């Protein structure tokens, strides 16, 4: 694919942006006289489920993220509000649910089609912060106005790595020696176009910006979005060595559950479009994928996670080197999870825990960890290939269920900014409010030094998610239906005891759900069915409970 820009454009862009940084620094310094304000580094990962050492995964090597967790408050049960990129990102970056942003697909901009809602970076910018975006923060395209919501959210134009345009092109060397557009795409980096990969470029750009910020007199908000482990699994091939195929197991529940309503299933059409998957001639919609290829998919996902971990490690090590770790909040999360064969699915696009549960952790200097002493490094780079590296336990953990919606009020509170008020109902006319809870109460650690788990009342916490479908049975657009094609909405409630999902009729013209038009239901009890394989919605003994949970 040819670049639409002239040769050398990216270097010119970099010079213009760094010049804009200097100008913005001067303006921000004049506009903001606050001293002692905490910076914010927000790391957003694409399609990352909690397959990390700090979340108890014994196979995945993620030493740098685990090290961050050891100095952080880690939320064991954090959930996205819709398991697909654009709706999830717009939701947590505005602090509004998908029913408020009215974005269930990729094809509308909330400021035009729902309301002129403020975003997290916009709020920090309006409070004197220099705000910067690197990589995939907002989903690119229509859903962020082809500008990553500039100029509202950012102090100068967001950075996108030049090599990301090759992600879906024929850059994967197959066994036939030819280049293909494959799902599985371990590469020799020196052989790929531009000799680099998007996440490497994003890390390098983020480091350059941190170096600029070191001499800034104003606080900064830097959001860094990483592409991997989003498909295709295009990563440096040496990371495959961390995961020999003989060590890779299948998902614990690789079969489509007998009691799963057809409307709840997604047929993972996007991976079927990859050349190596097409060659398998897998039946639609249920498959299955051959077991040997299932292992290869899981291998490449885990390898992509370890590659991602190295990029996070380099970024955090630089933060340390620049002595910014003592005054910078670090938030780390993902837009949603990804099924690796669980329930016979290979994608996001559902309401199950495996696709809605995400990693979420906050490092707050002096609060989640002691301030580093002179010369001390909190985040030295750790090599995932070093077998002597010991697993680091999370510093603090809470089991309470939380939503990604809480990111907005929580970051504001941790930074000492006024927390936006709760939204009225409806709130389409209100620019600044939030539908998520402020999680600041979880950061009160006094008299709990001997207990890394924070004990609240988890039965008071609930997480909501939703997913649209075009029909009662899986079809070609079930994964990502356009708004006009949505006929059914699956609303899901997750508590500490159960997951309950009700699939109801939906009018896309009125954005209206009809809870008297029930198409199907799901009810799973977490203690006895943690993988959510046994739907008891239609069992007579649980029917009364299911009915009582309806709005």
The 10s digit of each residue's pLDDT in 33-51 is 345 899 999 999 999 999 9
Tell me phi and psi for residue 519, to 5 degrees. Answer: -95, -35
Q: State the pLDDT at residue 30.
A: 38
Percent of the chain with pLDDT over 90: 84
Q: E strands within 228-365? A: 233-236, 328-334, 357-358, 360-363
pLDDT at 271 over 70: yes
160 is catalytic: no
Q: State the pLDDT at residue 460.
A: 67
**Measured between alpha carbons, how far is 22 from 246 in angstroms, rounded to an integer?**
52
Residues 193-243 have pLDDT tens digits of 999 999 999 999 999 999 999 988 899 999 999 999 999 999 999 999 999
What tokens does 24 get?
């913005």
What tokens does 231 get?
């498909």
Contact 302, 57 (CB under 8 A): no
139 is catalytic: yes
User: CA geometry: angle at 83 spanning 350 and 523, to 5°?
Assistant: 40
- Among 71, 139, 160, 230, which one carries the catalytic annotation? 139
Q: E strands within 128-178? A: 130-135, 172-173
Q: State the pLDDT at residue 547.
A: 63
Q: What is the 3-state secondary structure (H, E, C) of 308-336?
A: HHHHHHHHHHHHHHCCCCCCEEEEEEECC
Residues 110-150 have pLDDT tens digits of 999 999 999 999 999 999 999 999 999 999 999 999 999 99
Residues 65-106 have pLDDT tens digits of 999 999 999 999 999 999 999 999 999 999 999 999 999 999
Q: State the pLDDT at residue 456.
A: 62
**Measured between alpha carbons, how far is 187 from 193 in angstroms, rounded to an integer?**
11
What tokens does 122 get?
């916009």
Burial 264-274 (b: 16+ CB within 10 A, else e): bbbbbbbbbeb
- Tell me the DSSP string of 51-69: -SGGGT-SS---HHHHHHH
What tokens does 361 get?
């952790």
pLDDT confidence band for 550 (50 / 70 / 90) = low
Measure Cα distances from 287 to 272, 341, 344, 512 in Å: 10, 11, 8, 33
Q: State the pLDDT at residue 23.
A: 47
pLDDT confidence band for 372 (50 / 70 / 90) = confident
Lowest mean pLDDT among 53-57, 392-396, 424-428: 392-396
pLDDT at 13 over 70: no
Q: State the pLDDT at residue 175.
A: 87
- Calculate the average pLDDT of the chain: 91
Percent of the chain with pLDDT over 70: 89
- Among 10, 22, 54, 85, which one carries the catalytic annotation? 85
pLDDT at 483 over 90: yes
pLDDT confidence band for 453 (50 / 70 / 90) = low
Task: Look at the pTM and tell me if it is higher than 0.75.
Answer: yes
Q: State the pLDDT at residue 481.
A: 98
Which residues does 431 contact at the CB level (< 8 Å), separation at least 6? 115, 116, 117, 118
Contact 203, 315 (CB under 8 A): yes
Lowest mean pLDDT among 125-129, 197-201, 437-441, 446-450: 446-450
């Amino acid at each position: 694919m040819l670049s639409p820009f002239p040769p050398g454009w990216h270097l010119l862009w970099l010079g213009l942006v760094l010049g804009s940084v200097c100008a913005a620094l001067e303006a921000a310094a004049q506009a903001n006289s606050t001293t002692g304000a905490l910076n914010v580094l927000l790391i957003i990962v694409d399609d990352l489920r909690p397959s990390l050492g700090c979340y108890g995964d014994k196979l995945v090597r993620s030493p740098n993220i685990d090290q961050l967790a050891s100095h952080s408050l880690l939320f064991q049960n954090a959930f996205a509000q819709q398991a697909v990129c654009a709706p999830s990102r717009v939701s947590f970056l505005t602090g509004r649910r998908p029913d408020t942003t009215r974005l269930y697909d990729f094809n509308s901009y909330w400021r035009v089609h729902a309301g002129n809602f403020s975003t997290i970076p916009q709020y920090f910018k309006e409070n004197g912060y220099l705000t910067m975006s690197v990589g995939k923060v907002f989903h690119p395209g229509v859903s962020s106005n082809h500008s990553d919501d500039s100029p509202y959210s950012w102090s100068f134009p967001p950075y996108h790595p030049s090599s990301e345009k090759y992600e879906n092109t024929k850059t994967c060397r197959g066994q036939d020696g030819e280049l293909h557009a494959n799902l599985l795409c371990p590469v020799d980096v020196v052989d790929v176009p531009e000799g680099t990969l998007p996440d490497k470029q994003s890390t390098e750009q983020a480091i350059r910006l941190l170096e600029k910020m070191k001499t800034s007199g104003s606080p900064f908000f830097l959001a860094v979005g990483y592409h991997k482990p989003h498909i295709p699994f295009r990563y440096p091939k040496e990371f495959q060595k961390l995961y020999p195929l003989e060590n890779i197991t299948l998902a614990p529940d690789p079969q489509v559950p007998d009691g799963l309503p057809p409307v709840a299933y997604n047929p993972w059409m996007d991976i079927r479009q990859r050349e190596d998957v097409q060659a398998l001639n897998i039946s639609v919609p249920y498959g299955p994928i051959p077991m040997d290829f299932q292992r290869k998919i899981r291998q490449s996902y885990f390898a992509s996670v370890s590659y991602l971990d190295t990029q996070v490690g380099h970024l955090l090590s630089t933060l340390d080197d620049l002595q910014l770790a003592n005054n910078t909040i670090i938030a780390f999360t993902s837009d949603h999870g990804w099924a690796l064969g669980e329930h016979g699915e290979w994608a996001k696009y559902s309401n199950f825990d495996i696709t809605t549960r995400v990693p979420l952790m906050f490092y707050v200097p002096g609060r989640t960890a002691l301030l580093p002493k002179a010369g001390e490094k909190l985040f030295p780079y750790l090599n995932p290939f070093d077998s002597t590296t010991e697993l680091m336990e999370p510093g603090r953990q809470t089991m309470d269920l939380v939503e990604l919606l809480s990111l907005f009020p929580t970051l504001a509170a941790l930074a000492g900014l006024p927390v936006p008020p709760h939204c009225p109902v409806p709130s389409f006319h209100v620019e600044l409010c939030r539908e998520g809870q402020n999680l600041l109460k979880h950061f009160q650690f006094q008299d709990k030094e001997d207990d890394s788990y924070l004990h609240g009342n988890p039965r008071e916490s609930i997480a909501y998610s939703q997913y649209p479908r075009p029909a009662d049975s899986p079809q070609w657009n079930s994964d990502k239906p356009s708004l006009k094609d949505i006929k059914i909405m699956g609303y899901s409630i997750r508590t500490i005891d159960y997951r309950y999902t009700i699939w109801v009729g939906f009018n896309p013209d009125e954005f209206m759900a009809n809870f008297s038009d029930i198409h199907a239901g799901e009810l799973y009890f977490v203690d006895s069915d943690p993988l959510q394989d046994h739907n008891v919605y239609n069992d007579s003994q649980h029917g009364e409970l299911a009915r009582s949970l309806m709005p």
